[in-house]
A and B are shown apart, each in its own frame.
Chain A
Amino acid sequence: MRIATLLASLLLAASPVLADDDRVQPIGDPLVRKECGSCHMAFQPAFLPARSWTRLMDGLANHFGDDATLPPDTAQAIRAYLTANAGDVVGGKHMRRLAPGSTPLRITETPNFTRKHAFPDTVWTDPKVVTKSNCPACHRGAEQGLYDDE
């Protein structure tokens, strides 16, 4: 029995991280983690399609109202990582409900997010939350790509 459990956990560990809707590949690139995680949590690229990341990186000078400009070589390296690991490139469930051709810039406005976050206002106005994009306020493993806690 113990061996079976061990085998099962090994299989689980070896299975693709995108197998589950509540798990995504964590960001492996330290530069992306540092720069994208400077003012907010560094969101995993699997949550948006490549075209969204491209548009986002084109508009860093007005990044949701902030000037998030980066040196050109840094921006290029981040753009390459985000688009290569985007949701429509790596697969997974996050793109499934996305309207074809739509280019969302906010993960919190994607169907996958809104479907799972239909909470009363009191949840969002909790002082620890601040904003819908503050994943780690509720998902303690968010930075590691773990969103299966509630």
Chain B
Amino acid sequence: MIWSIPLIAVLAALPAGAMAADARRDAILADYAAEARKADPAFMGFSAQRGESLFRSKWTGGDERTPSCTACHTDTPKMPGRNAKTGRPIEPVAVSVNPRRFTDREETDKHFVRDCKSVMGRDCTPLERGDYITFMGGQ
């Protein structure tokens, strides 16, 4: 029970509505934030709104079967999706219904590399990655 007091302190320090927070996800976001700042010294933090726009945008340059994130994840991140190329079921991306999302750095990086290339035809920037996770963290 020694850990209970610091845990309470951490929970109390969290903004309301962020109870799904996970230290591992925060660490991933902090890494992306550092990279985003390196790329642009004017970086002011991630935006759920930009993340949502990224999620819903139609792109060209990627695989024609996946012109947007929604092609596999559906328009509703809380819903299960399906890989548009393989038919494989996909667990929801919304953190509220799938708290394990974005908690493993290697997995997170791997899927951004794969999926960004598939949807946009290029890798995502650290800013885009952080925005996306921030959006999903609020879903």
Contacts and interface: CB of A to CB of B under 8 A. Distances in A.
Interface of A: 37, 39-41, 65-71, 128-131, 133-134, 137
A66 B119 CA distance: 10
Contacts of B106: 71
Of B84, B106, B110, chain A has the most CB atoms within 10 Å of the CB of B110
Contact of A39 (B63, B113, B114): B114
B76 interface: no
Bin the interface of chain B by size.
10 to 19
Contacts of B82: 130
A40 B72 CA distance: 13
Interface of B: 63, 82-88, 106, 110, 113-114, 117-118
Nearest to B116: A67
Contacts of A130: 82-87
Given A65-B63, A71-B106, A40 B88 contact: yes
Contact of B87 (A37, A68, A131): A131
Nearest to A41: B88
Contacts of B88: 37, 39-41, 134
Contacts of A134: 86-88
